[in-house]
Structure 1
Amino acid sequence: MVARAPASVAVPAGKVMLGARHWPGAAASVPALLVHGLASNARVWDGVAALLAAAGREVLAVDLRGHGGSAAVPDPPGSDPILVAARDLAWVCASLRWSRAVLVGHSWGGNIALQLAADCPDLVAGLALVDGGWQHESDRWGDLDTVWRTKAPPDLTGWDLDGVREVLTGAHPDWPGQAVEATLANLEQRPDGTLRPWLTPERHRARWASLLDHRPRELHRRVRCTAVLLAAGDPPDGPTRQAASALPDAELVTFPGGEHDLHLQFPDRVAAAIARLG
């Protein structure tokens, strides 16, 4: 079976609409909802999603608020972005009439997927955490200012899309061209040719504040579904292996030599791990 090209769609999440990419699947399959990381976009899942869809699974990759096709969707005043995103995903499933779904999250998206699995255990048929969803960021960073000095988005003044493409290709020589183009979609190309991230610096910083407050290891015991943890490298005893032990039915898959963006580097292996869920 060959997967059709995805359709770009808008899906209701309560009172707002989120951009997404949709691959149809077999009616009897448990659908998969793919959640990107911080300052990323739904297109980074294209390689993984195409493989899942080719195997018959319905797939939706969503652009979270502030990202990609959902860049203009506002955050509720004073809200926690992780909690808002988890509620948005629950609304998306309800809008699609999905009573059960396999939930997949990368990095920050892993925290969001975990939050939803803990809050709505009857909804989540399987949980895949791709290099995220187990680290307490407050253990690594003293405060938000310290994080921001390292994690603030780069200054793109003077850059054009071809220049960024060249840098990405050089930095990730084993990525397929599709992965490079998907990553470029993190950026808005304005009419004058200049670039800027879809996620504004203010919203980016607010999401890091949310991450510093998030306590994923306190959520693991509330998860009721089968889970798979996909970890870059081969982490020693620590948060990754603690999470694999704390989750009720979890498999840890390590990627020695792997980069943080495992779904871009190894789409076939990531898709195979997800396919075992649900």
Structure 2
Amino acid sequence: MRLNTREWGSGDKVALLVHGIMSDSRTWRLVGPALAERGYRVIAVDQRGHGASGRGEYTPENYADDLVETLPGGAALAIGHSLGGLTLSLAVDRLKPERAVFSDPAWRLVQPEQGFDPAMFVEFAAHATRESIAATNPRWAEEDVQVELETLAVWDGATALALSSLTEAAVLPQKPVVPSLVQVADPSFLLSAEDKETLRGRGFEVRTVEGAGHTIHRDDFAGFMASLDGWI
């Protein structure tokens, strides 16, 4: 499936941005322009079931295939957040960016017996208000709260329900396909301290953005950009 895209800048270098679940390309409202100022042409996708892209079967493989069908290969940089990190990791061998950044990636999901139920995303979206989003994300700017309201209004909740099948499929990668940075929230509900050491042992650079929530680029934009030092 060819995905809807949003672009910033016209530089010679290309950067690719892949959002997480319940979001779309608008989540990168600060990151896109910041990278454009650094000489990138920035392309952000709406993954299937999100934003203005089509709907369909929601599997990691389909998400990855969509990226390959939509985005140019050989970009200077690719960044994937949460579900977008998982998607990017499954497409990186075909997209072949020069560098990849996985921002609090969903390589491991909290299992139902540990209190995780994908339906909670659907329930939250169905009753989301400006106040509930702000309360859940107290460090977000008002603009991000508004974007979240708008993205939830066009999000297909079936993408969340499909997460229940992601058990063995979502595991830590064995090695980086290209030079790769893993950004980790503090605390992260997706990556443990042991996971971080495992990833370092497998050749990933791992940096924790202290005090930042799961959506690091919205929770602490300055910290997000600082953690990319040497990678952008």
How does the TM-score come out when normalised to structure 2? 0.85
Deviation at 1:104, TM superposition (A): 0.9
Q: Identity of aligned pairs, percent?
A: 24
Q: Which residue of 2 aligns with 1:156?
A: 126
How far does the alpha carbon of each residue in 1:209-242 deviate from its partner, in whole angstroms, 9 at most, with x for none? 343241432x332x33111111111566311331
What is the CA-CA distance between 1:156 and the residue it aligns to?
3.0
1:54 to 26, 34, 37: 37
Q: 2:6 maps to which residue?
A: 21
Q: Distance in 2 between matches of 1:176 and 1:146?
A: 27
Greater share of strand: 1
Shift of 1:259: 0.8
Report deviation, 1:174: 2.6
Task: Choose from 138, 143, 150 the match for 1:173.
Answer: 138
Check conservation: 1:126, 1:225, Cα contact below 8 A.
Answer: yes
1:216 pairs, out of 171, 177, 193, with 171
| Secondary structure at 2:43 match in 1 | strand
1:21, distance to aligned residue in structure 2 (A)? 1.2
- Equivalent pairs, count: 228
Match 1:264 to one of 204, 214, 218: 218
Is 1:277 the counterpart of 2:221 in the alignment? no
The runs of 5 or more residues in structure 2 that have no matched partner are none
Counterpart secondary structure, 1:230: strand
Is 1:227 aligned with 2:180?
yes
Instruction: Find 1:93's aligned residue among 60, 71, 75.
Output: 71
Aligned to 1:6: none
SS of corresponding position for 2:123: coil
- With the length of structure 1 as denominator, give the TM-score of the two structures: 0.72
User: 1:161-216 deviations in whole A, cap 9, x for unaligned?
Assistant: xxx1133234433322222222122222xxxxxxxxx333333212x034324143
* Unpaired runs of at least 5, structure 1: 1-15, 189-197
Q: RMSD across aligned C-alpha pairs, in angstroms?
A: 2.6
Partner-residue secondary structure (3-state), 2:166: helix
Higher alpha-carbon Rg: 1
Aligned with residue 83 of structure 1, among 40, 56, 61: 61
